[in-house]
Amino acid sequence: MTCLLIVALTLCAVLTPSASVDSCDGCLRFASYYGDHMVLQRSPERAVLWGYGPDGGHVTVSLSGPVNQKTSPVPVLEGVWQVTMDPVDAGGPYNVTAATEGSTATLTDVLFGDVWLCGGQSNMGFETYKIFNASDELALVPNYSQVRPFMVALEKSQTELMDLIEVKLPWTVPTAGNVADFSALCWLFGHYMHDILKYPIGLVESCWSGTPVEMWSSTRALQQCGLAQSTEEKAFPSVTDSVLWNSMIHPLLNMTIKGAIWYQGESNADLNQDEYNCSFPAMIDDWRMAFHQGSGGQTAADFPFGFVQLSTYLKTSTSDAFPNIRWHQTADVGFVPNPRMPRTFMAVALDLPDEFSPYHTIHPRYKRDIAYRLSLGARAVAYNETDVHFLGPFPNQTLCSGMHVNITYDQAVSVTPSSHVFEICCSANQAPCGPKSLWVPAPITNWGPTTVQLSTSLCSPTEEAAAVRYAWRDWPCDYKACPIYSLSGILPGPPFISNCHQGNN
Ligand SMILES: *[C@@H]1O[C@H](CO)[C@@H](O)[C@H](O)[C@H]1NC(C)=O
Ligand SMILES: *[C@@H]1O[C@H](CO)[C@@H](O)[C@H](O)[C@H]1NC(C)=O
Ligand SMILES: *[C@@H]1O[C@H](CO)[C@@H](O)[C@H](O)[C@H]1NC(C)=O
Ligand SMILES: *[C@@H]1O[C@H](CO)[C@@H](O)[C@H](O)[C@H]1NC(C)=O
Ligand SMILES: *[C@@H]1O[C@H](CO)[C@@H](O)[C@H](O)[C@H]1NC(C)=O
Ligand SMILES: *[C@@H]1O[C@H](CO)[C@@H](O)[C@H](O)[C@H]1NC(C)=O
Ligand SMILES: *[C@@H]1O[C@H](CO)[C@@H](O)[C@H](O)[C@H]1NC(C)=O
Ligand SMILES: *[C@@H]1O[C@H](CO)[C@@H](O)[C@H](O)[C@H]1NC(C)=O
């Protein structure tokens, strides 16, 4: 028995692919996510590079290309070295060479630009080949050779890892072939940002279908919201808290990044839905703190974070799960940035339903529209373009009387009359309204440049409108056919729910 066991163990050791090729104890090499064709973060931030090497050795890193640079030697400690480069302007190509006594490791065709992390669940993972008019986008790929994709492989871990377990797509010059299988939203975001910035963009896709925010959050972040599992709960095999944070985000902390975009929330419609207004902002805060620390202060402590407000799922659903998550995505404010969520930006997507998506209605193929809206947010929030607007009209005042409701918006509105997308809650004694109250449609009766007037005729004569809500449904409108858009016609008004202020008449 003992003998057999030993034989089995030995066999196992022989059959398991030898780790020595990759981990090569003592060899000089870069960490898994540094590679040929990569994009390193441009100035004013400094790129951070790290890797493995012989204990006791010293490593210098040099750049050769449009400008040359060489770091002072850093020691290899416990098999690991790390350097911080001087700031490098956007451009390239560069060769990056790490050298120690007797050996070198080189990355070729490295560009400096902005590095964006793309996270979330299946709508972030949704591949470019699946979107509407995919072939048009893929035909353009050769024009975007400075937009470089990289994809983290799907792996879980119960502990925080220092490096990735596996890379799905190493840094590469984009081709129609590799972009087809890359995140459409991430790629299109890079495409639109490159149109504006005209310098290299690095895209790091790290996402997984069907995953709740708890998997992407550290224990620290979950504790902020009372969601961290107890030791007893953790004893069950179903533990999923932090498993993707540990394996697919934590290893990346040492890289300098410009910002992140995110499309997730569907999986929290039935998991800790009420806490999403805490767990999502807490995850953003925690990522920001951790990337800042992991890069030795190079990644901004408030790096820009953009996200997609949930699109649509079930056409006739009256469940308020999606409306609640959409609201919670803004920390219950309705728009971003706001005091709880500074330097964030949002793409509203509830007017982009895809009834006939072959990938299920939860996966709308309109990722081009979403990426474009998100790129407007990045331009305004991450790149400080003051004349770029990215959010549609949001009310700044809601006045109710017995006869009607007057809504004033924060910007000019483009209105298409509708009888049912606005709703009011009628109340006989000014009792506060809640999600369980009876809501009735409030048709649009009139509108001005920044105002909309609703009829309260569906309240009984003894009642008054006590609250108003807009697009508070899973699937509130047809494609690009909600009642309220920006004057430009391209930015839908975000959904809202608001108590009335009593007007004069
Ligand atoms: C980078 O290295 C390759 C081959 O190793 C060489 O052909 C190329 O000229 C180098 N480029 C720069 C910018 O040094
Ligand atoms: C697809 O391309 C056609 C032809 O250019 C265009 O009419 C249509 O609007 C596009 N569809 C989407 C969803 O972009
Ligand atoms: C793509 O690049 C080609 C060749 O440089 C150019 O002719 C074409 O106009 C570009 N297309 C777009 C949409 O930029
Ligand atoms: C979060 O949402 C829940 C459920 O709607 C609500 O009870 C709670 O007050 C909200 N918390 C915050 C901080 O907005
Ligand atoms: C990467 O960042 C983590 C988290 O801040 C830190 O513990 C670790 O030492 C860093 N790794 C390297 C190689 O610098
Ligand atoms: C944008 O403005 C913020 C806040 O004022 C500043 O920290 C940041 O450096 C600016 N970014 C750019 C790209 O100008
Ligand atoms: C609401 O926004 C409008 C701009 O559309 C502005 O003129 C008005 O003063 C704002 N009202 C309040 C109460 O903030
Ligand atoms: C709503 O606006 C109309 C038209 O401007 C005005 O006559 C009416 O008094 C307003 N009602 C309330 C409740 O403010």
pLDDT by 10s per residue, the chain, length 505 = 333 333 333 332 333 333 333 456 679 999 999 999 999 999 999 999 999 999 999 999 999 999 999 999 999 999 999 999 999 999 999 999 999 998 999 999 999 999 999 999 999 999 999 999 999 999 999 999 999 999 999 999 999 999 999 999 999 999 999 999 999 999 999 999 999 999 999 999 999 999 999 999 999 999 999 998 777 776 668 668 999 999 999 999 999 999 999 999 999 999 999 999 999 999 999 999 999 999 999 999 999 999 999 999 999 999 999 999 999 999 999 999 999 999 999 999 999 999 999 999 999 999 999 999 999 999 999 999 999 999 999 999 999 987 899 999 999 999 999 999 999 999 887 677 877 788 999 999 999 999 999 999 999 888 889 999 999 999 999 999 999 999 999 999 999 999 987 765 4
| Ligand nearest to C-alpha 273 | 4
CATH topology of domain 111-381: Rossmann fold (3.40.50)
| Residue with CA nearest ligand 7 atom 7 | 410
State whether the beta carbon of 449 lies less than 6 angstroms from ligand 7.
no
CA 426 remoteness from chain centre: 38
CATH of domain 19-108: 2.60.40
State whether the beta carbon of 62 lies less than 6 angstroms from ligand 1.
no
Quote the tokens at residue 426: 């009628």
Quote the tokens at residue 122: 């299946």
State whether the beta carbon of 104 lies less than 6 angstroms from ligand 1.
no
Ligand 3 geometric centre to CA of 185 (Å): 21
Closest ligand 1 atom number to CA of residue 64: 14
| Ligand nearest to C-alpha 198 | 3
Closest ligand 8 atom number to CA of residue 503: 13
Ligand 1 geometric centre to CA of 202 (Å): 21
Mutate which of 128, 130, 131, 133 for ligand 2 pocket (most atoms within 8 A of beta carbon): 133
DSSP H or E stretch at residue 321: helix 321-328
Closest ligand 4 atom number to CA of residue 273: 4
Locate all alpha helices (DSSP H) within 334-433, ordered by sequence.
Answer: 367-381
State whether the beta carbon of 108 lies less than 6 angstroms from ligand 1.
yes
| Strands, sheet with 395-400, edge to edge from the N-terminal-most edge strand | 444-447, 451-455, 404-409, 395-400, 501-502
> How much is the pTM?
0.93
Closest residue by Cα to residue 217 from 236, 198, 243: 243
